Amino acid sequence: MKTILIAALAGLTFFPLRAAVPLSELAKRQARSVHLIYSPGERNLSSIKGTVTVTETQTNSYFCLYGWDCGYCGIQDKGKQGKVLIFSVWDPVDPSDLTARPENVKEELRAKVLYANPNADVARFGGEGTGARTMTPVDWQIGQPVTIRVDAEMDGTNRTAYTCCYKDLKTGKWTKVATLSTLRYPGRAKDLDGIYSFIEDFARNYKSAKLSRRAEFSHLAYRKLPDTEWHPITKAMFSADATPSLTIDAGRTETGAFFLQTGGDTKNTHTLLWSLVD
């Protein structure tokens, strides 16, 4: 699912290519993956929350509300197969390893599923590093806000457990998606770090590059214990993968939310790539 690795170590950000495909071919095959890299001013966050509202979608599009150095969560359009919320956490491996196979990771190194919603499809994943993935049916619609929260806490002495919840679209009550635990190791944050959002076209069937996707990201906030107060996230940088397409854009809505758009006839009229979003 996630085509990029963002490492917020010493301020460095890495965007490895998904495969050895000529850049000109990538531009024809797929809409460019676009990201918002947030600067909350703190590291090792204990909680993050926010809302993603899709305003334009296509089959096989993923709208990630939050990614961090160990995992990601967001909503996916699977076309006739419905709409879902995906929450994944990596094993302690290289997330940019496109050849990684989940069965090759030793049991003691694997991300663990401590809890999963009864409606969730739980599986191991590979091909972008390896880890544990949950896919939960959530029937979100165009223009409908989906609010998600992730909390981090210690799991024993050498693991971090991440719990993902979302607000039920009908009742407004919080619904627990899953708790996934992964090993701590040098270079990986103790809790939540290097947070970002992105939109990805994973159809990559040449037709998909000609179609537009757009989402808004609002009410973004973080918390760092022992402080119990939520702090708003107000700064973001616009970035993208190595696909050379120019049909990308990012900016602010009239209500102050961030937005990302890619594919189709999108024009870059708001924020220049690698610039702060005004």
pLDDT tens-digit series, residues 178-205: 999 999 887 776 799 999 999 999 999 9
pLDDT at 97: 86
Instruction: Map the chain to HEC letters.
Output: CCCCCCCCECCECCCCCCCCCCHHHHHHHCCCCEEEEECCCCCCECEEEEEEEEEECCCCEEEEEEEECCEEEEEEECHHHCEEEEEEEECCCCCCCCCCCHHHCCHHHCCEEEEECCCCEEEEECCCCCEEEEEEECCCCCCCCEEEEEEEEEECCCEEEEEEEEECCCCCCEEEEEEEEEECCCCCCCCECCCEEEEEECCCCCCHHHCCEEEEEEEEEEECCCCCCCEECCCEEEEECCCCCCCEEEEECCCCCEEEEECCCCCCCCCCCCCECC
pLDDT at 98: 86
The whole-model pTM stands at 0.93
pLDDT per residue over 126-180, tens digit each? 998 999 999 999 999 999 999 999 999 999 989 999 999 999 999 999 999 999 9
pLDDT per residue over 75-119, tens digit each? 999 999 999 999 999 999 888 888 999 999 999 999 999 999 999
Above 80 in pLDDT, residue 25? yes
Q: Mean pLDDT for the chain?
A: 91
